Amino acid sequence: MSIPIFDRAQSSARYIRAHITSDIDIVVVLGSGLGAFAETLDESAVIPYEEIPDFARSTVEGHSGRLVVGKITVPQEGGIKREITVAVMQGRFHYYEGYSLDEVTLPIRAFGAMGVKSLVLTNAAGGVNPNFHQGSLMLITDHINLMLESPLRGRHDDRLGARFPDMTEVYSREYQRAAEEAATELGVKLEKGVYLALQGPNYETPAEIRMMRTLGADAVGMSTVPEAIVARQMGMRTLGISLISNAAAGIAEGPIDHEIVMKIGETVSQQFSDLLRRIIQKIGTRG
């Protein structure tokens, strides 16, 4: 008999809790090419995924497969400083790697079991909106799930949350406002749009991209949505940011290559890290 996902998440949570010195305030999941942000944390502890019970393994280039837990300082009035403890996943698990959605989303359930209520999901995505350029950052306002699978499918366990969670506000509007404030302060242009998720791993055809534009998508990728759904079920507040690493098929000429995704991530690495740090400082003080 397989071990229930709730119990596996508890096992992962116990291991992580035993290897850190303070409670986690915010979890950040980093997408392809965006892993450098984890190196900016202070007093960080590193836990390879293979050491955490029931965590899967990252097999995709650009996903280091490490959990980094460290601090971000928030300056306050009177010279007082507040520290926010941030857990950063340097890489995630994907459905297209052959993992089940239970395995893909187990880390989110583990952090939920630890009492974490704030989640930032990032990814590299293809630009469906022709007005987005390569290297743009897009605030995810909503999503379309065309993975044709839900991480909540199967026998329900009340300990995980509601059987039929409301999806009206998957991505916290308050966190979106905080992200927009942070972008304005840093002079960073932050697009807004709808993220559409597919199973992958192949990229989309031009005809599929035309369909997505008709459906109202602005960006397309192969992750994030299962994690966001599980976070919503568990009562976590989620912010989503996509790096538009390439124009989707048919939007621009030329082939699409994962190497391009990685290079664009390196190009915007500093800007992305500065923005993410400022966002965390804001949402970390709002609770």
Q: What is the pLDDT of residues 238-271, one digit of tens each?
A: 999 999 987 665 565 666 666 766 677 677 788 9
- Catalytic residue flag (residue 258): yes
Which position has the higher pLDDT, 261 or 75? 75
Mean of the per-residue pLDDT values of the chain: 90
98-107, 194-203, 236-245, 264-273: range with lowest mean pLDDT:
264-273
Token pair belonging to 193: 């749009």
Compute the distance between CA of residue 58 and CA of residue 66 in angstroms, rounded to an integer: 9
pLDDT digits (tens, 9 = 90+) for 271-282: 999 999 999 999
Average pLDDT over residues 106-110: 97
DSSP label at residue 61: T
**pLDDT beyond 80 at 47:** yes
| Mean of pLDDT values over 12-25 | 95
Domains of the chain: 5-286 (3.40.50.1580)
Amino acid at position 76, single letter = Q
Angle between helices 269-286 and 258-267 (to 10 degrees): 70
156 is catalytic: no
Among 12, 32, 118, 136, the one annotated catalytic: 32
Question: Distance between CA atoms of 249 and 243, rounded to whole angstroms?
Answer: 16
Taking residues 164-171, report their average pLDDT: 97
Is-catalytic flag, 63?
A: yes
- Indicate if 96 belongs to the active site: yes
